[in-house]
Copies of this chain bind each other. A is one copy, B any other.
C-alpha cells in the first residue's frame, strides 16, 4: 500500500487557530469532517480549547453551562487523590473509574481552502454547545452531503453520557438542529450518502457496559432523524491493530465493488490506525472484505508525538476517480492529509477476516 503523506503536513495546527474563549489556549484543531461547498473545500474542525493555568499544580476543567450560556472553569489540584489525571484528556473519578471532567472544551469551527491544502480558519465557532447534553463539548464531526443539504453529526459529551447529535445546513452559516440521533454511549456515526433499497443507513459504535465491546453496528432510517433495525456488523480482532476499539471514520465511499468504509481501530496500547472494510452495495449489513493490516498507522513525527500520541483518526475524505485524499487528525492535535489509490485499498482487502 502506497501512502503519500503531504510534505506540508500537518496542514492545520492549533497555533493557526485563534482562541474563542478569553483566558483559553487552543490545544487541538483536529478530527475534521470534510465537505465541498461553493467551490471550496471546507474542514469542519474539532477545536479544543483549554483554560490557561498559571499554577503547574492545578488542572482546570471547563464546563459549558446551558442555562447561563457561558463556560465555567473548575480547578483541581494534581495532588487531590480522589482524581486520576494520567490521561491528559480527562479527569477521572478514582472511586468509579468514570470520566468526571474533560480538561478541554471542544466545538466545531470551519477551515476553508481552494486547493485542499492551504486553509484559512474562521474566527468564530460554527457549531457550539447548545444544551446540557453538550456541557463537556462536541467532538469528531462527520459531514454527509445529500443534494444541497449537508448533514453534520458529532459526539455530544456530558455527565449524562456521550451520544451522537445531528445538525444540517445548506450554506454553512445557519444550522438546523435535529437532536440526538444515537443515545449513549455512542460515537463514530457515519451516514451513508444515499438511500439504499429505499432506506438511509448509518454505521455507529455503541460502547456497552455490562457485556459487549466497542464495535461497529449498522442501523436504518426513513428520515435520517429516527433510527432502528440495529445490527452488529463487525468486531474487534484479538492481537490485531484493531483489538481494543473500532469506529467508523470517513463517510462510506461508493465503489463498483461495494461501499468502502475507512474506519479507525485502536490496539491495546491505544495506538489508533486506519483500516478499510468493504460492505455489500445493496445490503451494507453484509461485510465482504476487511483490511488485515492498517492502510495508515502513526509513523510521522506529528502522528507519534502530540497531545495524545500515536493517533491517526479520520473523519472524512475526498474522492476523485481513483484518488482518495484522506484528511485525518494527528495525535489529537493537528490535521494532516494523505493520498491513496482507491484501487490499491480495494486490492489490499482480505475476504473472511472480518469476524
Which A positions have Cβ atoms within 8 angstroms of B? Answer: 98-99, 132-133, 157-163, 178-186, 204, 206-212, 215, 217, 219-223, 225-232, 235
Contacts and interface: CB of A to CB of B under 8 A. Distances in A.
A231 B162 contact: no
The CB with the most chain B CB atoms within 10 A, among A182, A221, A228, is that of: A228
Contacts of A158: 211
Count this chain's copies in the assembly.
2
A157 B178 CA distance: 30
A230 B182 contact: yes
A226 B221 contact: yes
B160 A232 contact: yes
Given A98-B211, A162-B211, A179 B227 contact: no
Contact of A222 (B132, B182, B222): B222
Contacts of A209: 185, 207-209
B228 A180 contact: yes
A180 B217 CA distance: 11
A217 to B, nearest CB: 6
6 contacts: A133-B232, A161-B211, A162-B211, A179-B231, A180-B228, A180-B230
A228 B98 contact: no
Q: Is chain A's binding surface mostly helix, strand, loop or mixed?
A: strand
Contacts of A161: 206, 208, 211-212, 232
B98 A215 contact: no
Given A183-B186, A183-B217, A231-B179, A208 B207 contact: yes
Given A159-B212, A211-B157, A183 B230 contact: yes
Given A183-B183, A183-B206, 16 more contacts: A98-B212, A99-B210, A159-B211, A161-B208, A161-B211, A162-B208, A180-B228, A181-B228, A181-B230, A182-B183, A182-B230, A184-B208, A209-B209, A223-B226, A225-B229, A226-B229
Contacts of A222: 222-223, 226
A33 B81 CA distance: 47
A-B complex: 3 closest residue pairs judged by Cβ atoms: A161-B212, A226-B226, A185-B208
Contacts of A98: 210-212
Contacts of A163: 230
